[in-house]
Structure 1
Amino acid sequence: MTSPSLGSNALTPRQRQLADAALVIIAREGLAGLSFRTVAAEAECSLGAVQKAFPRKETMLAAAFARLREQSVSIPSGEPGRPTLRAWLVSLMISILPLDADRRAAQRQAEAFALYSASDPAIAGAITQSDDQLRNLLASLVMRARSEGEIPATVDPQRTAWAVLALTQGLAAQLSYEPRPERELRERLEGIIASLLSGA
């Protein structure tokens, strides 16, 4: 069964509150721990209030996923790709990686929804759309950096965008079970990004 709607803007304040409570449960217990009853307990409201806000569990999951997407935007402040593409990409990746409690929770939530997307085309499509949007942004920044002479013209925008996103997502998953200090990660990422942008 597919999720009805994935837009956070259409949610009422009560639905947002309950969707956020659902995300807390997903981070703590995974999707297996999510039910109308556990959301009611987490939000400190009645079971009837949850059922009134979300007629079906799928509707609640769609709302929780919409809230996750809304809250997990991690684009560094300032103009994208500045002052240099290399420095900005490292900052972007560090801001996404699960290096504190909030980002570790968001990573667990994202992993739970990624697994759920195998049986929910709407969530699978929303994840794909998010990935495509980020890859398109990265590719456009690579193109600009090439045109400005910051990086060699031999650097392929699409391949670089795919590599950066794949590296970030893979490293985020690895850090879930093998934490590393930010300083070490930053040093390694600086070397990897420098290599990607070298055009070699």
Structure 2
Amino acid sequence: MARAVDHAERREIFAAAALRVIMREGVAGLTVRAVAAEAGFTTGALTHYFNSKDQLLIEASELSARLVRERMERAERVRPALEAVRRVVALALPLTAETRGYWRIWLAYWERSSYDDEVARVMRLRYDEWRGRLERVLRRAQSEAAVAPEVDAREAAEALIALVDGIGVQVVLGVSRISAARQRAMFDAWLDKVRSGRAPTHGLRRSA
């Protein structure tokens, strides 16, 4: 007797296959045929669950978000807090082939959010989550006297997000060759400023 199909498991298999295709070939290589072959199924089996490239992109993006979130949560718990900041940011920067692959998905998601309200809503939620994570570890670092007390943790987190996004876009689009060592040096320069309180005005607490 044939085993009943676990539809949730099958969707996960296709999502993982789509993720591998994007990370290897970029979004341009994401086709129903390519994903079906990667997963070891027929295109007919795949189209039972997904009928467009957009649906595959969304599912692959959701899977990548879950994978990264698990790593981020572990990194956030590291002590001392300053080391947690370093590890969390290292997971976000395009330092490796894997993280550059995640960035390709994220940039494709950015593009889609410009005309899809649901994708835009999910992106806002992810940025809220990312900002909140950075703010928490920065506040912990302040409580450990590793970040200057006058630094506004929320605004410092927003500045750090802008830095990470800028590096990610330039590296993945190939408009600037920022090596892994240079990426780390740029982050370290930002970190030195928040540790000493020499951050730009937008990263300090507003006066009453």
Q: Please, which of 178, 191, 194 is the counterpart of residue 193 of structure 1? A: 191
Q: Give the letter for the 2:133 counterpart.
A: L
The question of 1:13 aligning with 2:9 is answered yes
Partner of 1:174: 170
Partner of 2:137: 141
Specify every segment of 5 or more residues in structure 1 that has no aligned partner in the other structure, as ranges.
1-10
Judging changes above 3 Å, is the alpha-carbon distance between structure 1 residues 121 and 29 closer, same or farther for their aligned structure 2 residues?
A: farther
Judging changes above 3 Å, is the alpha-carbon distance between structure 1 residues 42 and 167 closer, same or farther for their aligned structure 2 residues?
A: same
Q: Please, which of 49, 72, 76 is the counterpart of residue 75 of structure 1? A: 72
CA shift, 1:78, in A, is 5.2
Once residues 73 and 185 of structure 2 are traced to their aligned partners in structure 1, the CA distance between those partners, rounded to angstroms, is 18
Contact 1:17 1:43 in 2 (8 A): yes
Judging changes above 3 Å, is the alpha-carbon distance between structure 1 residues 118 and 59 closer, same or farther for their aligned structure 2 residues?
A: same
Query: How many correspondences in the alignment?
Result: 189
**3-state SS of paired residue (1:129):** helix
Once residues 90 and 154 of structure 1 are traced to their aligned partners in structure 2, the CA distance between those partners, rounded to angstroms, is 20
The question of 1:113 aligning with 2:109 is answered yes
Q: Give the letter for the 1:51 counterpart.
A: T
Once residues 185 and 55 of structure 1 are traced to their aligned partners in structure 2, the CA distance between those partners, rounded to angstroms, is 39
Once residues 174 and 125 of structure 1 are traced to their aligned partners in structure 2, the CA distance between those partners, rounded to angstroms, is 24
Larger RCO of the pair (alpha carbons < 8 Å, separation 6+) = 1
* TM-score with structure 2 setting the length: 0.76
Alignment of 1:87-126 (within 5 A): 87-126=83-122
Q: Give the letter for the 1:135 counterpart.
A: R
CA shift, 1:147, in A, is 3.8
CA shift, 1:145, in A, is 3.1
Contact 1:152 1:197 in 2 (8 A): yes
Q: CA RMSD in A?
A: 2.6
Deviations 1:74-102 (A, max 9, x none): 427455463142x4323322222222221
Once residues 78 and 68 of structure 2 are traced to their aligned partners in structure 1, the CA distance between those partners, rounded to angstroms, is 19
Contact 1:94 1:182 in 2 (8 A): no
Partner of 1:162: 158
Contact 2:85 2:138 in 1 (8 A): no
